[in-house]
Amino acid sequence: MTGAARALARCDELGRISARQDALERTHLSPEHAAADAVVAGWMREAGLTTHLDPAGNRIGRREGARPSLPALVLGSHLDTVPDAGRYDGMLGVVLAIEVADRLRHESLPFAIEVVGFTDEEGTRFGDALFGSRAFAGGLEPGRLDASDAEGVTVRAALEAFGLDPGRVGEAARRPEELVGYLEVHIEQGPELLDAGRPLAVVSSIAAARRFDLEVTGRAAHAGGAPYARRRDALVGAAEIVVAVERIAKATGTVATVGRIRAEPGGVNVVPGRALLSLDVRAERDEGRDEAVGRIDAAAREICAARHLGWHLEERYRADAVVCDPALTAAVAAGVAAATGQEPPRLFSRAGHDGMAVAAVTGIGMLFVRCGNDGVSHSPDETVDEGDVGLALDAFEAAVRRLAAERG
């Protein structure tokens, strides 16, 4: 069996460890988390790694380098899932990291290798993402242990039930001097590689994002009695703004989405007096994101002024771009070029990943693998091609070897 075939068989096996009969769902500190963890620990041992569960619930396997206690190059991804998940989001990155460790088991490297299966990247159970990787990077927010799931079970209680000590979660934190960097393989979760006819991409950054609540205010009026010249229809203004958002996003190379819209008072025979919208903007870099937001704000002001409407924009969330480390990214690009014979395309990740948290403690590099099936992800319809996975494995191994040669 090739490494790629074994990796895919392992994704199938993990895909069967689920809280539901009819779908894949495996959340933080659940019985399924424990079952998957035990299976992954066994694969790590087979690959010659010594392994332990860290105090946050991350599974870590390690092999020393040429000397004991050298800093570690960390390879990994996450083992938890969204509800009704696919088998490759996260898991593919963990099983490929184990394959790379297996391939390098007889090499004397100038760094230790650590493979990490992070827990709770998705935040499915407790509502907030990146628990495992934030703990690993020493950036876990103080209130996180008090969050509770739909049944009212707190993270603290769930850690105890899992056999972990909530008082020691902070000990999962790693120091920068213990680490060389972090490399992750992940499915693209979009169709760009599919459309480009390319199997792999190097990730330039994990997207900068901002989210807003938008409010357009006009005047409610009778749908029959109010003539157009006198109307101040908030929803028609909002509709123009939605179209402007799409136009500006395309013009600035960003992605912006109005995902929610509500008209008030919401009567079928009432001209809407108020419209409430959400806005999500994502971009490769902070500057591009902020330029798009500025242009959307200016366009909305103009639209509202022309229609005698009020306009208000309130920020709800902001995350700056996490830019991948140049040296790690160069190693990944060289690995892809060696495996495929072509310079890889560069993509920025529109989705969040563990690397966003890990970047607080060490540099990150990422490799994307083409998704089949129209690029669909967070769905049981996720697919990858075995040939692509084989190339990803070769590229991942070559990237690690290149970093070893650079430091050796």
Q: Does 190 bind Zn ion (CB under 5 A)?
A: no
Q: Give the three-class secondary structure for 179.
A: strand
Stretch that binds Zn ion, among 86-94, 95-103, 286-294, 320-328 (CB under 5 A): 86-94
Distance CA 157, CA 194 (A): 43
Least CB distance to Zn ion at residue 152 (A): 27
Interacting positions 228-257 with Zn ion (CB under 5 A): none
Q: 207 or 300, CB closer to Zn ion? A: 207
Rounded distance, CA 41 to CA 343, Å?
35
Window contacting Zn ion (CB under 5 A); options: 34-42, 45-53, 82-90, 203-211 = 82-90
Nearer of residues 3 and 90 to Zn ion, judged by Cβ: 90
Task: Pick the stretch among 85-93, 123-131, 157-165, 361-369 that binds Zn ion (CB under 5 A).
Answer: 85-93
Contact segment (CB under 5 A) with Zn ion among 89-97, 200-208, 297-305, 333-341 equals 89-97
* Residue 74, Cβ density class (10 Å: 0-12 exposed, 13-18 middle, ≥19 buried): buried
User: In the complex with Zn ion, which residue's Cβ is closer, 90 or 218?
Assistant: 90
Give the helix/strand (H/E) hosting 392: helix 386-407
User: What's the closest the beta carbon of residue 108 comes to Zn ion, in angstroms?
Assistant: 33
Using the rule CB under 5 A, give the single segment among 81-89, 200-208, 242-250, 311-319 that binds Zn ion.
81-89
Given 54, 89, 233, 394, the residue binding Zn ion (CB under 5 A): 89
Total interface residues for Zn ion by CB under 5 A: 2
Categorise residue 377: left if φ over 0, alpha if ψ from -120 to 50, beta otherwise.
beta
Among residues 174 and 353, whose Cβ is nearest to Zn ion?
A: 353
Instruction: Find, among 300, 210, 216, the residue nearest to 255 by Cα.
Output: 210
Where does residue 191 rank: exposed (0-12), middle (13-18), buried (19+ CB within 10 A)?
middle
Closer to Zn ion by Cβ: residue 125 or 401: 125
- Distance, CA of 226 to CA of 220 (rounded, Å): 9
Work out how close the CB of 368 gets to Zn ion at its nearest, in angstroms, rounded to a whole number.
Answer: 11
Question: If DSSP codes are grouped into helix, strand and coil, which group holds residue 136?
Answer: helix
Site track for Zn ion across 267-306, x = CB under 5 A: ----------------------------------------
3-state per-residue secondary structure call for 79-135: CCCCCCCCCCCCHHHHHHHHHHHHHCCCCCCCCEEEEEEECCCCCCCCCCCCHHHHH
- To Zn ion, the closest distance from the beta carbon of 235 in angstroms equals 37
Tokens representing residue 85 in the block: 């998940």
Among 210, 201, 276, which residue's Cα sits nearest to residue 249?
210
| Distance from C-alpha of 159 to C-alpha of 28, rounded to nearest angstrom | 9
Residue 89 C-beta: closest distance to Zn ion, Å: 4
Smaller CB separation from Zn ion, 118 or 311:
118
When the beta carbons of 135 and 371 are compared against Zn ion, the nearer one is 371
- The nearest distance, CB 255 to Zn ion, in angstroms, is 18
What gap in Å lies between CA 191 and CA 206, rounded to an integer?
17
User: How far is the CA of 352 from the CAs of 3, 7, 208, 293, in angstroms?
Assistant: 27, 23, 10, 20
Binding residues among 326-385 for Zn ion as defined by CB under 5 A? none
Nearer to Zn ion, 90 or 190 (CB): 90
- Span near Zn ion by CB under 5 A; candidates 50-58, 84-92, 359-367, 368-376: 84-92
Number of neighbouring beta carbons within 10 Å of residue 11: 22
For 396, the 3-state DSSP assignment is: helix
Please answer whether residues 146 and 156 qualify as being in contact, where contact means their C-beta atoms are separated by less than 8 angstroms.
Answer: yes
Q: Which stretch binds Zn ion (CB under 5 A): 90-98, 141-149, 250-258, 290-298?
A: 90-98
Q: Using the rule CB under 5 A, which residue among 90, 218, 273, 352 binds Zn ion?
A: 90
Closer of 25 and 89 to Zn ion (Cβ): 89
Closer Cβ to Zn ion, 77 or 252, answer by number: 77
Residues near Zn ion (CB under 5 A) are 89-90
